[in-house]
Structures are given as C-alpha cells and as structure tokens.
Chain A
C-alpha cells in the first residue's frame, strides 16, 4: 500500500513537471492551440469534393429547339454556369487547357434530327481530367440533369426508377466525412512530435541523466512522459470536435464516451510510437525527421482522403499497424453513425497492440540505449 502511494506520489510530480516544461513557454502554448483552430476551419472548408460550381463552355452546332432547351436547362441549375459559348470545335482545346472551363458540351449538328427520329441524340462532353475526382463528380451532375431533361422531353420512358437514400450523411458532404477525421490527424502530428521530442530534448540538454539517477523507475518516467502528449492531443481533438459541432454544425449522432475512449487509446498508441522514436534517436533533428517520415505514410494509409478498401490487399494489411486508420474509422462511425463502444470495439485492438508494444519498448530503451 505504501509502495503504491509512493509510486503515485512520484508520478504526480513527474506529470506536473512534464506539463510545466511542455506548456510553460507561451509561444509553445500558442503553437499548440492556435494553428489547430485555424487549420480545422480552413481545412474544413477546403476539404470538399462537392462541386458547387461547374464552369462549362458549349459548342452548339445543332441550333435546334432541343439543344437550346437543353442548354437552358443546364443554365437554369445553380451549379452549371457557362463561361464561354464557342463557335467551333477547334476552340475546345484552348478552353480546357487553360482551365477556364471544367467541361465542354459539344452538341453536334445532327443532334436534333437524331432525337426526332427516335435515335440517340448524342452530346459530346469533354472534361478536364487533371483532377479526376472533380471531373467525375461533374459528369455525375450532368447525367442527372440529362435524365431530367429526357423525362421532360419525351415523357417518362424509364422502366426502372432508382431511389437513393444515404444514411448518416444525407447530402454526401465531404466535410462531414473529413472533419471528424481531422481530430485524429491534427492530434497525431502534435502527439508524435511532442512525445518524440520530450526524451530527445532531455538527452540533448543532459537533464535525462539527472532524471535517471533519481529513484524514478522507467515506468514512472514513461507515464510522466506520456501524460502531456495525451492531454495536448485530447485538447486539440476537443477543439476540432467543438468546431465540427458548433462552427460547421455537423450533427453528432454518437455519444461522448466512446469518442473519448477512442481518442485516448489512439493518443496512447501515438505516444508509444513517439517515445520509441525518441528513445532511438540521438538528436532532436532525427526525431523530427523520423516522425515526419513516419507521419506521411501513416496519413496516406489511414483512409483520411482515400478509402482503405481501394488499397491493394498487402497495403490493407499494413494499415493494421497504423493507429490513425482505426482511429479515423472509429471516430467517423461514432460521430456520424452513432456507433456504441461495443460496435467498434474491434477497432481498439490494433491500436492497443501498437501501444502495448511501443510503450514498454520505449521504457526499456530509456535505460538501455547504447550510445
């Protein structure tokens, strides 16, 4: 009992010191908080595949009622706006190359006659493929307008009607999907750097030796070192959460408990990775480079911007070592889908494994690093 008390007492001081030395400097405090706010707002607006405006140009060689009607319908939407009306097809290249128009609609001379004769009235559409995603989203929009046009032009010919319902994100807004993910991403960067630098800085400044001659055990040092990144990570995640909820007004379906449970487990595993990096590095510069080199693949493999199932099988297996992947998945599902702890419990496992492997490793390396 007394032993436990002494243990807790020392941990209390260790944590207090770590918090103080991390957060004492006002510029560090500022750099940990302000960019998170700015970034989540900025990136929240930036992260969207939802085209609000499609600049297009058209070449109408048909000059028929049908073609004029069609273009009028297009112009009547809020999304499509015409930037240029071209006179012949030779000008198409220029409009697309310069990026002036995302799409060129080319209506050929026989368009109307084909339509009248009951054949297909073909419209050539040229999209700018330099950004594949945008191009396919735009043609998706166009197709829907064409369906509409067909119905009003020739009456409903379609035998099959498709009714689409989207669960959890009715309008398929990318932001809804991206912002909860940002909770994980932004805290990952800081947690990795903070925990990575904490030991390396002490080594570089010589304070680590002083720490090692005290009765503090590696476990106590480890806990002390893990607490500030944990708290900073959770604070940053909370800031992003508040911005999601109150600035972007993304409805939150799940509850706070599983969300924070996920965040804690996630931050813990990141701290483990950071501390391990710290323990093997000999300078602060190495820590920063290593964390950075690790960070990019972690983000790419996490499914933040591109879905995990699109990856080849081998890479999908690799993602099991990436805590960010499971954190993102869990956070999104809790936030948007309203999953309970039990439903996402499986996602905790890979993160816990990472934490269980890296944290003791880091603790062991504190004392046994060969330099």
Chain B
C-alpha cells in the first residue's frame, strides 16, 4: 500500500551538469527508500552526501534525473504545487526577511498557510516559548544571532502541522538547551498530530530519537534501519579508557585515533576516551586499562562511514604530524589573554556584562553558551572587530583595536561562517592572506606547502574556494588562519555544520597545534567538544556562569561522569532558575 508510505523513492538519481563541461556530478545515485506515515525519520551522513539535494527533490524544488519519487502518493514532477500545499519545508539556510520582525516573519508564514486567527495565537505563544524568542518578538530578524535565526526559521516552518514536515539540518548552530526543547516538540507533534517528519541532522543523539534512520554517503544510501539496528553494528566493540595523570584527554584520544590498525574511532567523554575497536574479537591493548561500554548510534554510524570510506579511497590522514607527549602537562604561567570587567552594550541591551577571565599560553580555552549568550560579541571584541563599552582587555599584551597593525600578526581568526573569497582559488586565497600578513615569498611558499599538506588540501589548489564542500572549506579557513603561524588562534564555532568525521580531523589538528604551544580560544555548540578543552567558560545572557577545567565544572555541578551536554544544561537551567527567583524576590 502506497498510502502508508508518505515518501517512496525508487532508483532515485540526480545529476548536475558541470559548468562548461560535458561531465556531470552525481549528487544522488540510485537511492531507494520509503518513509512511513506518522514516523520520525532521520537522514544522516557527512557533507556532500546528498542530503540537501534529496530534501529539495522531495520538496519539488528540483527534478530527478532518473528514477521515481512519490511524495504523499504523488509523483513529484507535475504535482509540485499540490505537494507544496500539503508539506512544510525548512531549508538549511532559512530565508528569513531580515528587515521584518520575528512577529512579522511568523505572521507572513501563518497567512500563507492560512492559519486561523484564533488558532494562531496559541500556536505562536507555544512556538515562541519553545524557541526562547518570546521576549524578542519586535526585534528584526537581521539583528538576531545565528542560532536564534535558525530557531525563528523553525518556528516559521512549524506555524502549521502539515502532512509531511521536511527539515534540512534544523539544529545547526542551535544550543543544546533549545535543541532538546525542539526535539520534544517534534516528538510531541508526531505523537499528537500523527505528523510525518523527515529530518537531516549532524547530531547523532538526535538521530537516535527517531524511529528510522537513513545513512548516506557520497550520494548513496549506506544503511536503513532503526537506531537499534545501527547501534548493533558496534556491538561489543566499544570501550572507554582513562588518560594518565597530567595528560589531557585529547592527547590520549589522538593517540588512539592514530592507531588505525586497531581503532576505528575515538572521542573524549566525561574525562575519559571512548573508542571503537576495528575488530569485534580483538580486545584493546591491556596498558589502556579500558573497560567495555554500551554502544551508541554514533558508533555504528562511524563504523559504516569508515567502511565506506575505505572502499572508495585510500587512507588520507597524513602521518607527518604524529603526536608526541612528553608526559608532563601543566598550565603555563604566561597569560596570553587578559580580560577584566569587560562590558559591551548595544543601546539598552547588554550583550556582555562584567566578564573577567584569563587565557594562558598554550591553552585550549572553550567559550560555551546558548544562542545569544554573548560568545560571538566577546570574541569580536577580543579580535578588535568591535569596540568595548568598558573594561580592560589585552591580547598578547595589547588591545588589538588600538594597537599598531603589526600586533595583529600574532593572531589567527576563523569566523563563524565561511569567510574567505569564494571566487578565488584555494591557492589565491592562501597567497593573499600570506601577503597580507607580510610573509616573505620564500617563507610563504614553504608554509603554503606545509598547510596544504597538513589540512589535506593537496590537489584542490586551483578549485574556487566557494565551491569546495563544507569540510574542505572549514579546513581551508584553518589553513589560512594558521598560515602565518600565529601565537593565538581564535575559532568561532568552527565545527558547526560539519559532520562527525570532519570534526574528528579538526580536533586532531587542534590537539597537534596545542601540543606545539599555540594558544587556542574556541566557541562551540557541541558540548562534547568541551572535553577537548583545558578550561572552559560558560556564558548565558551576557553573564559568566562557570569557568574551569571540564572536570572541575562537572564536579561542581555534582555529575562526575556525565556528558558535557547534561552538565551544560544543568548549569544554564540553574542560573535561569536563580534569576527567576531573584526577580520574584525583587518584586
């Protein structure tokens, strides 16, 4: 019965012509799957897997090159409008009208979908509550932070409950707190309104909440099954090991990752490192003192990807940067960044309130917080891109805003969104930034070769930077920021929107850099990434809530081995609760 299958794809293929060439890029290759009515289905896969193309095909925004695609029992070709009348779709970059307020954006979509005025009020307040946008309804969308925009996009998509809801990475850049709320809503919708949801995501724990998961890579469907099916792939292969005293977890993780013969994947977690053995029968090396842990969806996914990767390409990770660990690790005495009583106001709105912290030389320092917490504002002030309202700020001994321009040669900066010249080639971008940092041609040449090698960009030199897949763009941004060998590296959400595989590579590079003595300041939405940091700082609504090593913070909250996600949510909720109580008390 096709009726129960809300999406049915048979041999679905999509090809794109290459500009000025007869060749074609295959974005989707013979994909077969179906989605049942009333279920929550997740689509996961690394960048360039074809997730967005698939979404657009289903939404009738593209036509398949071959194969069949039935949505709501109709062929998409010729029935685009009929389908679009009955589904809702949230594109990866939701096109908000930036000069309209939150309320006006939502009204527009409500009107377009024909939501009754009386139903609307209740629905809106529910959505606004969920997305935490309640207090900003009169603010223009263009003035919201990246994560808040994403949430508003979602709210606009959810103004009605359609027969099929398509969400293309709806939670990229959204903080864990809002993400949890959002998924509660989705699950509730599926249950109460028998909604069918098809969602692509980069978060494995989100995929685990779905009834069914599709795993894609390079335009092909690798696996289809329930989350439990996927978990079972990793059955009996997952272990956990603790680092030696004075050894940062990331060092142990990197060592494990480099042990390709035996280990598929390793990731820091709760002060330990969790890893997957290549072989089910093989036990981990005894000196690790590893103990078995329960398998997760992510483990299954990583195994699938590694298998597929090995089938298609040779092992690409360079051997050059092997990690060395002296056995001793302690925080340096030297202070690279000092911030005292930093305040930044935009009109009446205080984006950063009285914040003080220090970052020591050679440290990996994480800035965490929900959307709109003031992380990016803090960051931009540190880099000298935004004047401070009051307070004291020194980066490598100077205030970058007023310092001589040469002082900026000490820092490297990777912005939140890709911000290199998209129409220039990889080589041209590197050359330009090298020149801008005043590097002499000999040194520039040498460093270019080094970073191309280090970030596996060899062979991509002449491609336009804007046309690289997401992971490559991110690596190029890193390559550019590190080209002039800065002492301090600023990374603003470098991992948002990139897949787990690329994230592993990224953190491995950070580990190597830190080992060489570079100071790294990073903001991230992936709380588990806090585990890589020496110290973290948690901000919310402009205020500093906690600062210290991940383990210390964990202990403070009283959840010793919990994942960072949980710790984070707890801290934020506690702080908000205190504030609420305080407000009540004041009244």
Would B435 and A16 count as touching, CB distance under 8 A?
Answer: yes
A214 B408 Cβ-Cβ under 8 A: yes
B437 touches A17 (CB 8 A): no
A252 vs B296: C-alpha distance when bound (angstroms): 82
Q: A17-B424, A209-B385 are in contact. Are A10 and B436 (CB under 8 A)?
A: yes
Instruction: Tell me which of B416, B422, B436 contacts A215 (CB under 8 A).
Output: B436
Interface residue? B438 (CB, 8 A): yes
8 A Cβ contacts from B429-470 to A: 431-438
Nearest-Cβ distance from residue A217 to partner chain B, whole angstroms:
5
In the complex, A214 Cα to B420 Cα: how many Å?
Answer: 13
Once the chains bind, are B436 and A207 in contact (CB under 8 Å)? no
A1-42 Cβ-contact flags toward B at 8 Å (1 or 0): 000001001101110110011001100000000000000000
Which residues on the A side are within 8 Å of B292 (C-beta)? none
Contact B421–A207 (Cβ < 8 Å): yes
Residues of chain B contacted by A10 (CB below 8 angstroms): 435-436, 438
B75 to chain A, nearest CB (A): 36
A107 to chain B, nearest CB (A): 67
Complex CA distance for A216 and B432, rounded to whole angstroms: 11
Indicate if the CB atoms of A206 and B415 lie closer than 8 Å.
yes
A25 close to B415 (CB less than 8 A): no
Decide if B411 is an interface residue (CB 8 Å cutoff). yes
Q: Which residues of A contact B409 (CB under 8 A)?
A: 215
Report how far A14 CA is from B433 CA in the complex, Å.
Answer: 9
User: Are A213's CB and B413's CB within 8 A?
Assistant: yes
* CB proximity of B387 to chain A, nearest CB, Å: 8
**Least CB distance, B485 to chain A, in whole angstroms:** 14
| CB closest chain-B residue, reference A6 | B438
- Interface centre among A6, A205, A217, by most chain B C-beta atoms within 10 angstroms, is A205
Contacts of B433 in A (CB 8 A): 214
Answer yes or no: B383 CB below 8 A from chain A CBs: yes
Shortest CB distance B100–A (Å): 14
Contacts of A14 on B, CB cut-off 8 Å? 432, 435-436
Q: How many B residues touch A, CB cutoff 8 Å? A: 33
User: Any chain B CB within 8 A of the CB of A164?
Assistant: no
- A362 and B33 CA atoms in complex are apart in Å by 56
**Complex contacts, A217 vs chain B, CB 8 Å:** 405
| Whole-angstrom CA separation of A6 from B437 in the bound complex | 10
Report if B384 contacts A (CB, 8 A).
Answer: yes
B436 pairs with A211, CB closer than 8 A: yes
CB-contact partner of A210 in B400, B407, B413, under 8 A = B413
B580 located at the interface, meaning its Cβ lies under 8 Å from any Cβ of chain A in the complex: no
Separation of A211 and B383 alpha carbons in the complex (Å)? 12
Q: Which residues of B contact A6 (CB under 8 A)?
A: 438
Q: In whole angstroms, what is the CA distance A16 to B433 when docked?
A: 11
With A10-B438, A214-B408, A216-B405 known as contacts, the answer to whether A209 contacts B428 (CB < 8 A) is: no
Q: Does A213 lie within 8 Å of B408, measured CB to CB?
A: yes
Residue in A12, A210, A215 whose beta carbon sits within 8 Å of that of B419 in the complex: A210
B434 partner residues in chain A, CB cutoff 8 A: 13
**Which residues in chain A, 262-299, are within 8 Å of chain B measured between CB atoms?**
none
Interface centre among B383, B417, B433 (most CB of A within 10 A): B433
Q: Within 8 Å CB of A213, what residues of B?
A: 383-385, 400, 408, 411, 413, 490
With both beta carbons as reference points, the residue of chain A lying nearest to B407 in the complex is identified as A215
Give which listed residue, B384, B411, B436, B480, contacts A216 with CB less than 8 A.
B436
A21 B438 Cβ-Cβ under 8 A: no
Return the CB mask of B504-533 against A: 1 if under 8 Å, else 0: 000000000000000000000000000000
B21 within 8 A of A: no
Q: Any chain B CB within 8 A of the CB of A173?
A: no
Given A13-B432, A17-B421, A21-B424, do A210 and B438 touch, yes or no (CB 8 Å)?
no
Question: Within the assembled complex, what's the spacing in Å between the Cα atoms of A13 and B416?
Answer: 25
B428: A residues at CB distance < 8 A? 17, 20
Chain A residue with Cβ nearest B20: A26
Tell me if A212 is interfacial: C-beta within 8 Å of chain B. yes
B22: Cβ under 8 A from any A Cβ: no
Q: In the complex, what's the smallest C-beta–C-beta distance from B443 to chain A, in angstroms? A: 12
B423 close to A (CB within 8 Å): yes
Give CA–CA (A210, B380) in the complex, Å.
11
Q: Does B316 touch A at the CB level, under 8 Å?
A: no
B435 touches A13 (CB 8 A): yes
> Is there an interface contact between A13 and B436, defined as CB atoms closer than 8 Å?
yes
In the complex, 8 of the A-B residue pairs with CB atoms within 8 angstroms, ordered by the A residue number, are: A13-B431, A13-B435, A14-B436, A20-B428, A206-B417, A206-B419, A214-B408, A215-B405
Which residues of A are interface residues toward B (Cβ below 8 A)?
6, 9-10, 12-14, 16-17, 20-21, 24-25, 205-207, 209-217
Instruction: Give 16 new A-B contacts, CB below 8 A, not counting A206-B417, A213-B383.
Output: A9-B435, A10-B438, A13-B431, A13-B434, A14-B432, A16-B432, A16-B435, A17-B421, A17-B424, A25-B423, A209-B385, A209-B419, A210-B415, A213-B385, A215-B437, A215-B438
The 9 A-B residue pairs whose C-beta atoms are closest, nearest first, are A13-B435, A206-B419, A17-B432, A214-B436, A213-B413, A215-B405, A217-B405, A210-B419, A215-B408
- Hey, which bits of chain B sit against chain A, CB under 8 A? 380, 383-385, 400, 405-409, 411, 413, 415-424, 428, 431-438, 480, 490
